[in-house]
Amino acid sequence: MVKKCHPESADLHQFPVLAKLRLRLRCSPRRMITLYVATSNPGKLLDFAAAAEEEPGLVIVPLPRLEAIEPPAEDEATFEGNARAKAVYYSRFLPGEIVLADDSGLEVDSLEGEPGVRSARYASDAGFIGSPGTTTDQRNNLYLLTRLRGVSAGRRGGRYRCVLAAARDGKCLLTAEGVVEGEILSAPRGNGGFGYDPLFYLSEIGKTMAEIDLATKHGLSHRGRALGALLAAMSGLRL
């Protein structure tokens, strides 16, 4: 679902996939379009880079100097609300350019949509500490398993949802949504991905999100679908 609503280059040395992509597209005879994404999350950046590989003439790079910008509050009740707020806020730091921001997370049916917009802070919101040395993702996964203890396999359905917003000069241009359905396993599988990927099982391919390669993930993921919908809508507008 889609809704309407050359600055200093980003430092790409720490994002080799994006740097390689930008170099390739600079050599393309087609007009290059650069979109700036307001995230420093390595997993999300890899997702965006994989998506951009499928779009000739497109470059997606991190927003310049993002680490120096005070982040906005993410206190909206919906993914769309947070994505819009972030895109509008960050676009003011890069006049004239299109800035993307997303909000995404996991919704589990038997938990009435939890963790939802609190997916990244699920364990900390509940005061769940976990074992010493565990990462935020690991704690979130452990807390989710705790919440699902005793829930049978047939009642562990859920989905990843992503809303992606595009803004320019403090105004939201478009939003798009991507969803992928799956099941929550009782134990993690796979070493790839991030977030809840080791628990998110895709029955159609018999693997978790953490067990598939990046190209396959792009074709199936909520973030890839949201970006595809957004780009399709943008191609029909004079932006």
DSSP letter at 154 equals G
Determine which one of 47, 103, 137, 197 is catalytic. Answer: 103
Q: Residue 235: left if φ>0, alpha if ψ -120 to 50, beta else—which one?
A: alpha
Amino acid identity of residue 52, one-letter, is A
- Distance, in Å, from the CA atom of 49 to the CA atom of 51, rounded to the nearest integer, reads 5
- Provide the 10 A C-beta neighbour count for residue 135: 10
Whether 213 is catalytic: no
Q: Helix, strand, coil proportions of the chain in percent (round to 5)?
A: 40, 25, 35
The answer to whether 1 and 229 have CB atoms below 8 angstroms apart is yes
The Cβ-side half-sphere exposure at 23, using a 13 Å CA radius, reads 8
Euclidean distance between the first and final Cα of the chain, in Å?
19
H-helix or E-strand spanning residue 174:
strand 171-184
Token pair in block for residue 239: 């932006």
Amino acid identity of residue 175, one-letter, is T
H-helix or E-strand spanning residue 104:
strand 99-108
Give the catalytic positions in this structure. Answer: 103
